[in-house]
Amino acid sequence: MDALDESFASLRHPEVRDLAWLLGAPALLAPGTYPVWDHARSTALYRSALPLLQRLDRDPAPLLQHLALRPVKRLGYYVENLLGFAFAHLPGWRVVAEHWAIREQQRTVGELDFLLQPPQSDSLLHLECAFKLFLLHRPDAGIRGFIGPSARDRLHLKLDKLFQQQLALSQHPHVTSRLTQPIGQRLGWLKGWLFYPFGQPQAAISGLEPNHPHGWWQHLTPARQRLQHSQRYWIPLPRLRWVAPALFPAATTVFSGTQMCAWLDEYCLANGSARMLVELTPAANGWQELGRGFIVADDWPANSP
C-alpha cells in the first residue's frame, strides 16, 4: 500500500479515511484468475483522488451530506455510498448508472452496482463492488477455506456469485437496449480484510493478492489468556468502522487487556456472535490501530448463528 501510506496517515476524519482506504487499499484477489479491479488501478485512482480527499478531510460536509441521503446500517451499502460519492466527484469520471435494477417479465432479476465512463474512454465500465471479511478456517482448502464471521458466508461462493452472476447483468437486454455506448470492461471490485489463525504463519494461497489487508482470529479461551497478559490497549470496533485502519482521538475510552476480557465476557459471545477487536498504539493526539482481529466462540464455527 505504498501510495496509501504516503498520505493516508494525515487524514483524520473517519468517513474520509474509509473512502481513502477503499480507493487505495489492495484488492483481496490477484489479477489473472478473476477479472478484478487490481492494485495498480487502486494506486492510480487513489493518487488522482488525493486532492479531493484532502479537501474533504478539512471540510467533510459534502461527503456527510451525501451519506445522509441514504442512511444505512449494512456495511456493504455504506461502502457503495462512499464509492458512489467518489465516482461522482473524481476528475474525468461519469456515473452513467448506479443501483440499476434489472427487470425481466415483471420481476427484478438483479441490480447492477455501477456503470461508469472512465476518464478519456469512449466505452463504459461495469463495476460490481463488494466489501467482505473472511476468516481462514481450513488452511488446507485454499480459497475454499475462508468463511465469514457468522460462518454463513463462504468466500468461494461469493466469488462465484460476483463473477458469474452479477457481472453478467450488464449483458442483459434490459441494459444493452438502453445504452448508446458499448461496455468495454466488466470488473469486480472486491476489497476487505482476511483473517488468519492467531500465532500461525500466514498461508500463501493461490489467487489472493499477496499484499491484501489482513488480521488474525482466535477462539475466546486462548484470546482471554492472551489479553490477561497484554500490555497494550484495546477497543471493540463497531461494524460500520470495519473499513479503514482505525484512528481515535486522545479522549477515546480504551481498554486494558484485563478490561477487554471483562467486556468480552459481558458483550462478546452471549449470543454467539464474533467481535472485532483493535490493538492500539499511541499516536500524535490520539490512538492508532496496530492490528485487528476477531474473537469467536470456542465452538466456532460449529454453533455460530
Q: In this predicted model, what pLDDT tens digit does every residue of 242-299 receive, in sequence order?
A: 999 999 999 999 999 999 999 988 876 555 678 999 999 998 889 999 999 999 988 8
Q: Indicate the residue type of 304.
A: S
CB 118 within 8 A of CB 93: yes
Provide the whole-model pTM: 0.94
Q: What pLDDT digit, counting tens, does each position of 29-76 carry?
A: 998 889 999 999 999 999 999 999 999 999 999 999 999 998 888 999
Residues 6+ apart with CB under 8 A from 144: 138, 154, 155, 156
Q: Indicate the residue type of 263.
A: W
Residue 180 phi, psi dihedral angles, 5° rounding: -105, -5
- Residue 305 reports pLDDT greater than 50: no
Q: Indicate the residue type of 284.
A: A
- Residue 303 reports pLDDT greater than 80: no
Q: What pLDDT digit, counting tens, does each position of 89-103 carry?
A: 999 999 999 999 998
Please provide the average confidence, as pLDDT, over all residues in the chain. 92
Per-residue confidence (pLDDT) for residue 95, from 0 to 100: 96
Give me the residues paired with residue 275 across strands: 295
Per-residue confidence (pLDDT) for residue 152, from 0 to 100: 82
Per-residue confidence (pLDDT) for residue 107, from 0 to 100: 85
- Residue 1 reports pLDDT greater than 50: no
Highest mean pLDDT among 78-87, 170-179, 295-304: 78-87
Per-residue confidence (pLDDT) for residue 272, from 0 to 100: 63
Between CA 200 and CA 196 the distance in angstroms is 8
Per-residue confidence (pLDDT) for residue 271, from 0 to 100: 59
